[in-house]
């Protein structure tokens, strides 16, 4: 068993694609590496105020309580935001975290290889189950995240991973294996099930020119020695004939190859980048020259330390992180457009973490975590819903709601009109009813994988306005009647009326918001605007009022309400054009200051005079021009500022 012959060259930590490969899990903070301190960057958990956590931390307190209580549990978490979300100027494709069972004095790890198992074997021959494993091989927390170094699907594709072990001393060896087709483990039987058709894996297939016809499985084998950057060996699953006869276009085989079990014609071949030997990634561990001073934050639910006690921090050398620029290595679907792939094609279905007993790629495997679903082909499971346009909402929106995958959306419409949109078109502004069709893809530059149709209706059914007017019982004020609530409550596709509002306006700055207001007898044109609450639509009705419309022709003889002094005033008109001039006759209980007004039928004031009314009977001549002889006039009396009498009279 020999050490790696060809490896990926990694820098000793750094910020790559805005992710901190720094031996720490807190965003906006760099623990170890070329730069340290409060540096804006993404990481597994938020940790620092204002930071963004990549891993979902829901139910953290539940897991925290179990682990603090000594529970030996395993659980997995996925990305905190939908797949392909654009955060901090980067596309987050997917992320996973898993806590593994551990071996201790009182507990057994139930996810350990129980028979000899090696990289390159058909996974169907592996067996898992309950066993103990050395601390340095005992996987504890595992992390993986894939992102683009920008918001364009052709920006560099990066894979980040982290592994912590219970033990902190000595070298450690682990693998990050990614399966193209589904891969699973049955804890009841201890058996693995793989959909890989090529000795339990899926091979990479090339044409004669080295172009990729089919992507397959990949493994990143990591060797770590304290004080040095991790060493990574990137391999892909190929057939023996491919290794012998093909020169790949996007990367090179370096001659290192480990075949599967006897009789297989497949194996894992190391690949190296065609773009030179400079570092194309980073790797680091949380190493402190003074281990007791290491304050590396672990997870929101804490971790197991080498002392077999729960703690909030990783001990020195407990966490190893790597970051690989897959585009530079040549493992990026955005490079394979000529082969029919698109930048949003998924290279993998599941991710599997394993520890090895030595630095040899084919040494016995020890502990494992997973498999866990990772970067499966994104399914656009969005839904779209739009507003109903109304009179009070002439511009509405259609919103796309994502369940698990963020996306980029394009729209078309035949009968509607799009007035604007947000940056990814997950919300569009529309100002016309009609049919709108949205197509969604995980990101701009990738083909649409789902369409949805939204029909935007418009509710412009108006209410019915009508106005009527009369005098109050004392004939001193105008009484308005606004309608029509019953006529407005007619069937529509949006239901009946949900109520009306009233807006009156008229002469002398009259206004009111009640249905049936009262106003002083000011003649002129009054307007009512009725608004339907359901949609804000309006209807308007007007009425022009003149004095002649509200009085009746008076009798020639005076009329008195009470001539016996029982408390009610009486008024009337005496005389006629054939007998003598008209006179207003008033029989009142106490003296009052009044105003006598005479109008023509159109409401034009003919005369206005101040009168002093004494207690008892008063007779006030009505003086009009002789040209008015033989016409109808309106006589009105205001007493103490209140209209008390209005009648038609024949002059």
Residue 214 has pLDDT above 50, yes or no: yes
Question: What is the average pLDDT across 578-599?
Answer: 81
pLDDT category at 170 given cuts 50, 70, 90 is confident
Q: Given a cut of 90, is residue 262 above it in pLDDT?
A: no
**pLDDT tens track for 555-573:** 444 444 444 344 567 888 8
Q: How far is it, in rounded angstroms, from Cα 446 to Cα 343? A: 6
The residue among 221 and 447 whose pLDDT is bigger is: 221
Q: In the predicted model, what is the mean pLDDT of residues 282-294?
A: 82
CB 182 within 8 A of CB 349: yes
Nearest to 74 by CA among 126, 141, 132, 25: 141
Q: State the pLDDT at residue 261.
A: 63
Interval 416-437: pLDDT, tens? 999 988 877 889 999 999 999 9
Task: Name the token pair of 202.
Answer: 């899926």
Q: To the nearest whole percent, how much of the chain has pLDDT over 90?
A: 45
550-650 has the same fold as 383-459: yes
The pLDDT assigned to 176 comes to: 96
Instruction: Supply the CATH classification number for the domain 466-545.
Output: 2.60.40.10
- Per-residue pLDDT reduced to its tens digit, 53-111: 999 999 999 999 999 988 889 999 999 998 888 899 999 999 999 999 988 656 678 88
Q: How confident is the prediction for the chain on average, in pLDDT? A: 86
Report the share of the chain in percent with pLDDT over 70: 92
φ/ψ of 565, rounded to 5, equals: 75, 35
User: What's residue 65's pLDDT?
Assistant: 93
pLDDT of residue 242: 93
| Cα 451 to Cα 143: distance, rounded to the nearest angstrom | 34
What pLDDT shows up at residue 598?
87
The rounded distance, in Å, linking the Cα atoms of 543 and 527 is 7
Question: What pLDDT score does 526 carry?
Answer: 95
What integer pLDDT is reported at residue 555 of this predicted model? 43
Contact between 188 and 222 under an 8 Å Cβ cutoff? The reply is: no
The pLDDT, as a whole number, for residue 216 is: 94
The domain 383-459: what is its CATH number?
Answer: 2.60.40.10
The answer to whether the beta carbons of residues 353 and 175 sit under 8 Å apart is yes
pLDDT band at 326 (very low <50, low <70, confident <90, very high): very high
pLDDT at position 260, please?
65
Extents of the domains making up the chain: 11-373, 383-459, 466-545, 550-650
Q: Return the pLDDT at 200.
A: 92
Chain segment 485-525, per-residue pLDDT in tens: 999 999 999 999 999 999 999 999 999 999 999 998 788 99
> Where would I find the H helices in 240-369?
240-245, 326-329
Pairing between β-strand 139-148 and β-strand 90-99 as defined by DSSP bridges: antiparallel
Q: Would you state the pLDDT for residue 576?
A: 53
Looking at residue 279, what is its pLDDT?
60
Convert the pLDDT of each residue in 109-154 to its tens digit: 888 898 888 898 899 999 998 888 888 889 999 999 999 999 889 9
Residues 521-544: tens digit of each pLDDT: 788 999 999 999 999 999 999 999
Residue 291 predicted with pLDDT over 90: no
Domain 550-650 fold is Immunoglobulin-like (2.60.40)
Q: Give the phi and the psi of residue 242 in degrees, each rounded to 5.
A: -60, -45
Find the helix or strand (DSSP H, E) in which 573 lies. Answer: strand 570-576
pLDDT computed for residue 4 by the predictor: 42
pLDDT at 173 over 50: yes
């Amino acid at each position: 068993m020999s050490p790696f012959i060809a490896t990926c060259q990694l820098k000793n930590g750094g910020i790559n694609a805005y992710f901190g490969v720094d031996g720490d899990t807190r965003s906006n903070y760099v623990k170890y590496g070329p730069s340290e301190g409060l540096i804006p960057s993404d990481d597994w958990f938020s940790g620092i105020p204002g930071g963004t956590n990549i891993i979902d931390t829901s139910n953290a307190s539940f897991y925290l309580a179990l682990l603090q209580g000594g529970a030996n549990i395993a659980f997995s978490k996925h990305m905190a935001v939908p797949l392909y979300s654009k955060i901090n100027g980067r596309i987050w494709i997917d992320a996973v975290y898993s806590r593994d069972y551990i071996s201790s004095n009182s507990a057994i790890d139930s996810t350990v290889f129980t028979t000899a198992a090696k990289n390159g074997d058909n996974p169907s021959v592996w067996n898992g189950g309950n066993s103990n494993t050395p601390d340095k091989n005992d996987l504890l927390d595992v992390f993986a995240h894939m992102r683009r170094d920008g918001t364009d699907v052709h920006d560099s594709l990066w894979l980040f991973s982290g592994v912590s072990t219970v033990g902190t001393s000595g070298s450690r060896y682990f693998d990050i294996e990614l399966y193209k087709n589904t891969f699973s483990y049955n804890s009841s039987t201890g058996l693995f099930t793989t959909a890989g058709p090529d000795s339990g894996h899926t091979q990479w297939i090339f044409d004669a020119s080295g172009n990729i016809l089919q992507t397959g499985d990949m493994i990143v084998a990591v060797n770590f020695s304290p004080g040095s950057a991790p060493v990574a060996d990137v391999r892909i699953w190929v057939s023996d004939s491919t290794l012998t006869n093909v020169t790949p276009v996007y990367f090179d085989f370096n001659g290192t190859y480990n075949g599967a079990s006897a009789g297989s014609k497949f194996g894992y071949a190391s690949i190296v980048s065609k773009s030179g030997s400079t570092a194309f990634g980073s790797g680091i561990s949380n190493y402190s020259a003074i281990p007791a001073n290491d304050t590396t934050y672990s997870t929101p639910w804490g971790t197991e330390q080498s002392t077999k006690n729960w703690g909030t921090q990783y001990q020195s050398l407990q966490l190893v992180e790597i970051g690989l620029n897959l585009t530079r290595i040549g493992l990026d679907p955005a490079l394979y457009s000529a082969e029919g792939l698109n930048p949003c094609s998924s290279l993998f279905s599941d991710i599997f973490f394993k520890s090895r007993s030595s630095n040899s790629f084919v040494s016995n495997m020890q502990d494992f975590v997973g498999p866990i679903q990772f970067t499966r082909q994104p399914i656009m499971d969005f839904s779209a819903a739009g507003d109903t346009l109304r009179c009070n909402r002439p511009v509405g929106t259609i919103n796309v709601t994502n369940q698990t995958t963020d996306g980029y959306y394009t729209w078309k419409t035949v009968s509607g009109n799009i007035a604007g949109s947000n940056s990814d078109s997950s919300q569009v502004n529309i100002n016309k009813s009609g049919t709108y069709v949205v197509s969604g893809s995980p990101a701009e530059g990738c083909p649409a994988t789902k369409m949805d149709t939204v029909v935007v209706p418009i509710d412009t059914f108006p209410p019915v306005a009508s106005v009527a007017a009369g005098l109050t019982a004392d004939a001193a004020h105008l009484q308005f009647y606004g309608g029509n609530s019953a006529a407005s409550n007619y069937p529509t596709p949006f239901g009946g009326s949900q109520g009306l509002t009233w807006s009156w306006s008229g002469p002398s700055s009259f206004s009111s918001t009640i249905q049936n207001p009262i106003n002083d007898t000011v003649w002129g044109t009054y307007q009512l605007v009725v608004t339907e609450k359901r949609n804000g639509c309006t209807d308007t009705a007007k009425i022009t009022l003149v004095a002649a419309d509200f009085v009746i022709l008076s009798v020639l003889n005076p009329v008195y309400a009470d001539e016996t002094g029982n408390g009610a005033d009486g008024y009337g008109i005496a005389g006629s054009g054939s007998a003598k001039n008209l006179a207003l006759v008033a029989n009142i209980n106490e003296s009052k200051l009044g105003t006598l007004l005479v109008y023509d039928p159109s409401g034009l004031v003919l005369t206005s005079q101040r009168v002093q009314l004494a207690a008892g009977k008063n007779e006030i001549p009505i003086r009009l021009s002789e040209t008015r002889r033989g016409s109808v006039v309106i006589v009105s009396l205001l007493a103490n500022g209140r209209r008390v009498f209005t009648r038609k009279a024949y002059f």
